[in-house]
Structure 1
Amino acid sequence: MQSSHPTGLSQLVRMPVDHVLIEGMLELPAKPSGLVLFAHGSGSSRHSPRNNFVARVLRETGLGTLLMDLLTPVEDLDYQIRFDIALLTRRLLLATQWVQQNPETTKLPIGYFGASTGAAAALRAAAAMGDRVQAVVSRGGRPDLAGQHDLVKVRAPTLLLVGGLDTEVIELNHAAYALLSCSKKLSIVPGATHLFEEPGTLAQVASQAAAWFGHHLAAKG
């Protein structure tokens, strides 16, 4: 099937996209059942403690993870670039292409985990990838920013996770959910605000994400 390492793999990678190199941390358990690419939201990075917590839980269930910065540090200082969904999507697609050509990951089923604006990029990329992406999870995301044109084309099973106290984002997720025609679920995490900082809420996100990816990626492995 895929390459395996007795003790797994942890490697800083640099992927050429557009005219820049984006950095990512690729971590694989000994025998990964799939690979989840993380698309961070505006103002976040691959060092995000929340996404690293989720990634660690995913790896404990046998999934590989790639946490990466789709924007360079200089680009991330520009508020408008942070919300450039087309740019984020293009770079996520180029990173996916890199993963598919990398000997360590070329045969692994692929999933996307998106937070905030990264969720919109993940869904747009999934629309472009069709059956070549097996699952998408959004955490406190803005899937509405993907736009109707792309949302209706998503084929990958999609889980939208939203905090129960994040009322505005709940409405935006409901609107995006209605446009999705793939296998889908909208899950409201009780007592959670936008960043899932309340005790136990991020653990619920990680648990639901792991179950979603575990089911849909393992089925393709």
Structure 2
Amino acid sequence: MTSVKIPAGSATLNGELIMPPDAAGIVLFAHGSGSSRFSPRNTYVANVLQQHGIATLLFDLLTRAEDQDYDARFDIELLTERLLAATRWLQNNPATKSLKYGYFGASTGAAAALQAAAAMGDAIAAVVSRGGRPDLAGKSALSQVIAPTLLIVGSEDYGVIELNEQAYALLKCEKKLTLIAGATHLFEEPGTLEQAAKHAADWFSCYLS
């Protein structure tokens, strides 16, 4: 694991880059509101991806001071800018510039992942949302995403399921909506996070290899 510092305008974002041998692709994690690069759920998913030979970048979308501001946590434009800054940083990094890129977003981070994917076009090979709010990406961005996109939602995450269905209908790319039986919003039920991670690993393995 390599600790990294990512320049993003006037801010510097802390991250953790892990590169398995012979990785063909790398997934950038966009965490949800009130979370960080140390999110236990994202860390778990990242470990599963690494076992599949996929590199991962977990990083803080907000500085510590910004994260104290409730509004900043829901500023999708700001979160998107930060994700794009991290993507450009990888594109300029000799160790990662030749890899295929994917985005994994949770909660509000899923909206940022989809807005960034819309902006990056074919530079992004795949997107996965877990318990995400893809609806917050907006109609325009959703209709412009061309990266194959997987939306993973808990079958007991009422309200969020409907929001994901609305976003799914607006996506024109290759897409899939997967419900994890018995899971609520945070996938805290036994075995549900493992299922979500397996679906994500299969999706990224298909499109990043």
Interval containing the TM-score (normalised by the shorter chain): over 0.9
Equivalence for 1:123:
114
- Mapped pair 1:84 → 2:71: no
- TM-score normalised according to structure 2 size: 0.99
Letter in 1 for 2:148: P
Equivalence for 1:108:
99
CA-based RMSD: 0.4
Equivalence for 1:214:
205
1:138 aligned counterpart, secondary structure? strand
Out of 12, 18, 21, the residue aligned to residue 27 of structure 1 is 18
Out of 155, 173, 177, the residue aligned to residue 182 of structure 1 is 173
Alpha-carbon distance in 2 for matches of 1:187, 1:58: 18
Out of 147, 169, 179, the residue aligned to residue 160 of structure 2 is 169
What whole-Å deviation, never above 9, does each CA across 1:66-108 have from its counterpart, x for those lacking one?
Answer: 0000101110111100000000001100110000000110100
Out of 138, 142, 152, the residue aligned to residue 151 of structure 1 is 142
What whole-Å deviation, never above 9, does each CA across 1:138-183 have from its counterpart, x for those lacking one?
Answer: 0000000000010000000000000010010000000000000000
Equivalence for 1:3:
none
Letter in 2 for 1:164: S
Letter in 2 for 1:158: T
Alpha-carbon distance in 1 for matches of 2:90, 2:193: 27
Alpha-carbon distance in 2 for matches of 1:79, 1:178: 30
2:144 aligned counterpart, secondary structure? coil
Work out the percentage of aligned pairs sharing the same amino acid.
63
- TM-score normalised according to structure 1 size: 0.94
1:175 aligned counterpart, secondary structure? helix
1:136 aligned counterpart, secondary structure? strand
Equivalence for 1:14:
5
Alpha-carbon distance in 1 for matches of 2:14, 2:94: 18
Alpha-carbon distance in 2 for matches of 1:77, 1:187: 33
Where does structure 2 lack aligned partners over 5 or more consecutive residues?
none
The list of structure 1 runs, each at least 4 consecutive aligned residues, that deviate by more than 4 angstroms after superposition, is none
What whole-Å deviation, never above 9, does each CA across 1:18-37 have from its counterpart, x for those lacking one?
Answer: 10100110001011120000
2:179 aligned counterpart, secondary structure? strand
Equivalence for 2:84:
93
Alpha-carbon distance in 2 for matches of 1:77, 1:163: 28
Alpha-carbon distance in 2 for matches of 1:163, 1:66: 25
